[in-house]
Amino acid sequence: MERAAKRELVSTLNDVFTSTSVVVVAHYAGLTVADMQKLRAQMKQAGATVKVAKNRLAKIALEGTDVASISGLMKGPTLIAYSSDPVAAAKVAVDFAKGNDKLVILGGAMGATALNVDGVKALATLPSLDELRGKLVGLIQAPATKIAQLSTAPAAKLARVFGAYAKTGEAA
């Protein structure tokens, strides 16, 4: 790699580390090209990204960022998974690691908080941002539908009573 390309990669990684909310670090030794393509596709579908970079360049890019605590994990063949959604990268990485034992999750960071392997797995069990938004909208809409049902219920009961009196009047 030329010096200019290295500078460009370091600045790109630095932007990634400062702007993303979660970073997951994993070893990928033994993964085939097909496995890596599958992992990248799954990450892209979830709104996350996987990057393989030289550890030395990644450590330089980590300096001065909130996620600098993961620089100790940069040993051996590592990949970096990141996303703006706090759980997307962790969820895909943990799911992929369950099916493929060659991907070994080392840890990660969420903001300034360093995460160990268990922390990344716990983060993966949380619902995604879209799921939380859906639940919130459902909770907000529920009281409105209950009020609408309650306000129409007395009118429906009155209509049934009048109908019953009309039928008894016709029968008499």
Which CATH superfamily includes the segment(s) 3-126? Ribosomal protein L10, N-terminal RNA-binding domain (3.30.70.1730)
Q: What is the C-alpha separation between 24 and 31, in angstroms, rounded?
A: 17
| Amino acid letter for position 110 | M
| Amino acid letter for position 129 | L
Amino acid 171: pLDDT: 63
Residue 114: which of 78, 73, 80 has the closest Cα?
A: 73
| Neighbour tally for 86: CB within 10 Å | 17
pLDDT 10s digits, 25-58: 999 988 899 999 999 999 999 889 999 988 898 8
pLDDT 10s digits, 107-157: 888 888 888 888 888 888 887 777 777 877 877 777 766 666 666 667 677
- Please state the domain extents for the chain: 3-126, 127-172
- The structure's pTM equals 0.70
Distance, C-alpha 132 to centroid of its chain: 11
Buried b (16+ CB within 10 A) or exposed e, 8-19: ebbeebbebbee
Coil vs helix vs strand at 59 = helix
